[in-house]
Amino acid sequence: MRINVHAGHNADGRIACGAIGFIRESTEARRVKDAVVAQLRQLGHTVYDCTVDSASGVSANLSQIVSKCNAHDVDLDVSIHFNSGAGDSAGNSRTTGTEVYVYNAASKAKGYAERVCAAIAGLGYRSRGVKYSTGLYVLRNTKSPAMLVECCFVDDKDDVQLYDCQEMAEAIVYGITGQRMQASEEPANQETVAPGVETVVGNEKQLYRVQVGSYAVKGNADAMLAKLKAVGFDAIIINA
């Protein structure tokens, strides 16, 4: 596939930089965008990053994004955003969730949008479904089929505790392509070792530790810890 991908709004610290809550829309949209672009390219797709970081305002940002998108002949335009308006600062044990916009029911992006929404909901977010909007500038003005992904809500404590940018990107990529990135690649001819079993090669007094990830939100670290322990790894959390 040939795909345009962009993060919405200007970069953080500039005018028109998006919603701010427990997390910042501009920052997280760019993290997800970068991961989506990288994964799509690793899967063999042609991807153009059409993000605009420093326009003079909202209108200029949107216009420049659309100009970048329309410079390419692609199968799909993907706009990545984060939502706001939940106002759940304390947490109510349920997410406000994810939704994906397309121009109308006849849009060729609708099928992609449905699959992306379902894949993100599969991470644990409430599905708000696919919605139609003829008023969103990107959807109205891009020449290729387009969808706008509202990943989750920046001002919902439950959404943010669940959120992980790599998982979000993987869900978007899977929804678009039906392909998933492998969690790890083993070198050819290397013996498979069961989880929790260490094979020592070389100097047995020298130990090497493998770090899985770094998280700004402790709830995300706790979730990854639980996943690792569930498959047999002896994992711990260390404060950086």
Dihedral sign, Cα of residue 169, residue 170, residue 175, residue 176: positive
Beta-strand (E) ranges in 110-234?
127-132, 146-153
CATH 3.40.630.40 domain position(s) in the chain = 2-177
Q: How far apart are the first and last CA of the chain?
A: 40
Q: What confidence tens digit (pLDDT) does each residue in 27-40 have? A: 999 999 999 999 99
In tens, the pLDDT along 83-104 reads: 999 999 999 999 999 999 999 9
As a CATH number, domain 2-177 is 3.40.630.40
Token pair belonging to 49? 């990053």
Q: What is the overall mean pLDDT for the chain?
A: 87
Q: Which residues contact 185 (CB under 8 A, 6 or more apart)?
A: none
More confident residue, 43 or 207: 43
**CA–CA gap between residue 11 and residue 116 (Å, rounded):** 24
Give 44's Cβ-side CA count (13 Å radius).
4
The per-residue pLDDT for 208 is: 47
The Cα 103–Cα 107 span in angstroms is: 6
